[in-house]
Structure 1
């Protein structure tokens, strides 16, 4: 008697699990760097870069000493970059893209010309929206974005040329078009899956990236200067994070094979979608909704702390045992992106009358490290990361949850592009780590003897 389809996959899943489980002791025996991490949780050094630098601790005689986090784009501190454009009352994402791509800050003429170049490339190719976005709407905008990037190969007259000149052209076009691809993917999802009206605004070349995003995703295309400035800051903070983060490493790994730009960037999008990477801001907001529903008095630190204990013990929220947005693979005492974003989050909370929820965020940020140390009996230093406040800011801007991670991609395409170009210039060899087979030899059995 044949099993149901569901039964078949369940049956085969158990076989797969049984025949693919490797004991933890084997990883220890062969000193495997799981997750490309050393035993002290530092990253395995696999390359060199001049694009971005993440500094979160110092090593002293083999001991990891926590320090305040630093993030530098092309050697320039992120605090100085942000202070630079905010003090001059202008937006910073286009300048940041230029810095990451070309390795130096632009003068006014260079910045104006580069911004105009991006503006001229924002419109998608003829019939692209109809054929590649609207005809196959996706419930997840990240999957739609990846498909749109891969489809761009078919609209490129010279897609496989990996020269620096051609790769740069492709990267600039993708940086310019990501907001349009994301916005149209979102509008298609709203229309075909959520049964809402369809709004497809044309991108406006004179607008910045942040302005175009709000123009494209909102039915009435309206926005305030304050909203644009906050979204622009988010883009700047998410634009780059060194070569070791998962999606950037994916870009370099895939591009090292000599494949085309679109394949490498699509792989990065697939990586960023994951809840352990770019999808973490959604997890934070889902957790916060759970906390708000189960903690009666948000100002009672004892009650908040008790619920955080339940989360860590896998007795609350999604059962993962994680306080999302707290802790980072690299940062220890602080994440500079979270520090900068927290300032804006406070301003936004006051403007929108959402101070009570903001105070709950700050309470959790303050209590979580203590609760973590107590429950986990660990001396690991943890602090809020950028995902902890980014979701709050997006929500305050009225941006739908399904756009949180795509907005991350709109920003990070700048960093991916810079690393892709650097890999083409300096890589030379396909990235190919080793895996040791520990199965051993097994004789083949004839069918009649099985």
Structure 2
């Protein structure tokens, strides 16, 4: 039956070229099709020359016009948490004063506690093997706890967005604890979030059995959240937020749709794929410092003979960035510091070696040169591992961070979009004459498959 469905839904790839279809909303040179404008985030990874060719450049990422590197460096230099400030920046469009930031953090802190009995009724009694699935369901369930859920005025959507940003650490932690207890037979540890703690601190406190963490660990996780908070309007989940919001639907439906998009292994789920690949590499390479053996493994991966046989070295390459991913550059420094403090320098050096060798090995296997830089997933996977964060929390943490950007994009769409997003699909199906039920021939899968060859 599955083969039958694949056959009747097959579309000849030549038709896409014939009708100039922008598959994946991308042009033939790999650039994205321009479908909207945004003031929120900007991603720069290449330039277009006079011949309309892509010219690789060092990657840059901007939040409301501020370069991400400047933001992160300021948080490190001032030894303070930055995620709450970045959230304010993305939503309100400007950097807050000290008093504005304190007021914003105080407001969020009042939203750390979930509604009465929500954790018990919606999370603990109905656990899921997938934390992302549980996050999406929890967001949808919060609709029922909102006295004014369908009001799409900017004031109300702002209130709903900040509520969700406040709730998310508890949603994530409780979903993980429920899953661990129910499916993994681990002890259930439920702690209330503390209003005086940052987002990163509350996450570590509620995730860990002992509830303890170091300042370095919390600050490192905070930087991860900052780097994942926004990535322009064209990434899959942000575009999903724009798409769904353009229909006029409620905030909870829009955000849960964004979570569903991020859950996919081609989007937010890629960080887990990096972690799995490194685990498989270690299982098949006796000494990760043996570069020849690592090369042999990576070549097998590229030839679809190792790991998940996808032919992909996860953590390498990006749809926009060419010479470098600024998030990966910043995380690389963070990973090195963590590795040195946790005696895992060999793991850091392994990721660094994968970054250095992939482009050359790709050319060796495929015979063509392809510009590939390390993307954010290569080093975020290592950072999460060094922070002892469970692997199935990696993508949910991405969602928690990206919620800030999603909220900003939803408000932007409701403020300036004012048009239902509806791209066109051309039908290439044959026209058929209707056959009455009494005259239809008995269905034969074999005959059907022979007819459609």
TM-score, structure 1 length as denominator?
0.96
Q: CA deviation at 1:181?
A: 0.3
CA distance in 2, matches of 1:229, 1:440: 59
Counterpart of 1:299? 289
CA distance in 2, matches of 1:283, 1:17: 26
Give per-residue Cα distances to partners, 1:100-119, cap 9 Å, x unaligned: 00000000000000011111
CA distance in 2, matches of 1:294, 1:246: 34
CA distance in 2, matches of 1:200, 1:383: 40
Residues 169 and 199 in structure 2, CA contact (< 8 A), matched pair in contact too = yes
CA distance in 2, matches of 1:298, 1:143: 35
The answer to whether residue 346 in structure 2 is matched with residue 368 in structure 1 is no
SS at 1:193's partner residue?
helix
1:265 corresponds, among 255, 266, 269, to: 255
Counterpart of 2:416? 426
Counterpart of 2:390? 400
Residues 45 and 59 in structure 2, CA contact (< 8 A), matched pair in contact too = yes
Counterpart of 1:57? 46
Count of paired positions: 439
Counterpart of 1:449? 440
Residues 43 and 60 in structure 2, CA contact (< 8 A), matched pair in contact too = yes
CA distance in 2, matches of 1:374, 1:65: 23
1:66 corresponds, among 56, 73, 88, to: 56
Q: CA deviation at 1:88?
A: 1.2
Counterpart of 1:18? 7
1:99 corresponds, among 75, 89, 102, to: 89
SS at 1:201's partner residue?
coil
Q: CA deviation at 1:14?
A: 2.1
Q: CA deviation at 1:293?
A: 1.6
2:226 corresponds, among 232, 236, 240, to: 236
Map 1:51-450 to 2 at 5 A.
51-61=40-50, 62-447=52-437, 448-450=439-441
Counterpart of 1:45? 34
Task: Decide which moves more: 365-374 or 426-435.
Answer: 365-374
CA distance in 1, matches of 2:42, 2:367: 31
Q: CA deviation at 1:308?
A: 1.1
Q: 5+ unaligned residues in a row in structure 2: which ranges?
A: 442-453
Give per-residue Cα distances to partners, 1:98-150, cap 9 Å, x unaligned: 00000000000000000111111011001111111011100110000000000
SS at 1:83's partner residue?
helix
SS at 1:136's partner residue?
coil
CA distance in 2, matches of 1:334, 1:386: 10
Task: Decide which moves more: 242-251 or 294-303.
Answer: 294-303
TM-score, structure 2 length as denominator?
0.96
Q: Cα RMSD between the aligned structures?
A: 0.9
CA distance in 2, matches of 1:65, 1:239: 27
CA distance in 2, matches of 1:343, 1:332: 19
Q: CA deviation at 1:195?
A: 1.4
